[in-house]
Structure formats: C-alpha cells, structure tokens
Amino acid sequence: MKTVEVAVRDASGLDNSLVGVALMRKAFQPHQNGKPGGPLADAGAEGGEQEADSALFAGAMGRYKNPSSHRTVDFDNPIEAAQIIQFADLLLRQVDRAKDRNSS
C-alpha cells in the first residue's frame, strides 16, 4: 500500500506533508456545487461515485497501510496477503486512469 500512497502523491502533485488517509481524501475530494475537486477526482463521474473513490482509497490506507507503518503486522494467511496485493494493484490501475484523464 505504500506504493499506492506514493503513486497518488506523484499523480496528484500534492505535498509530501500529506500522508495516508488525509492524502487520499485531498487527492480524491469530490467536485461539489461547481467547485473543483481533488486533482484525481473524476469530474465526469456522479457525485456518489466520486465520494466512493475517496472512501475506497482512504479506507485502503487506514486498513492496510497505516497499521503496518506503525507496528509489525503478521500476515499469517498467504491468501489474504496475496489479496491485499491484488487490491493494491487495482488501486494503482485507478490512479493510472486518473493520470490519463488529467493528461488529455
């Protein structure tokens, strides 16, 4: 999940002082009432979908990245560890799509 955090920071251009959940919330902040959202928020998506992206990324950081950043977390189930890696890969693909949207 650290790779996801780094990819979001790079793609969003946000400052290194933002980390974890705060970074995800800022990067994927939904567009509201004509106000621009976060740099990775999909302006073409419905508001609930934008909020879901923000929650998905923030939840991933809170659940899978933050605990292992602050203490030793034992993943005694190799299947679960593999699933977390696959989830991180899915999130990285979404970051790539957001970068593509912003570059066109």
Instruction: Provide the residue-wise pLDDT of the chain in tens; the chain has 104 residues.
Output: 999 999 999 999 999 999 999 999 999 999 998 889 999 999 999 999 999 999 999 999 999 987 666 667 677 889 988 999 999 999 999 999 999 998 87
Structural domain of 55 = 2-103
Give pLDDT, residue 57: 98
The pLDDT, as a whole number, for residue 99 is 94
pLDDT at 89: 98
pLDDT of residue 71: 65
Q: Which long-range CB contacts under 8 A does 89-97 form with residues at least 24 apart?
A: 91/4, 91/56, 91/57, 91/60, 92/3, 92/4, 92/7, 94/53, 95/4, 95/7, 95/8, 95/11, 95/40
What was the pLDDT predicted at 69?
A: 65
The span from the CA of 47 to the CA of 10, in Å, is 24
Q: How many domains does the chain have?
A: 1
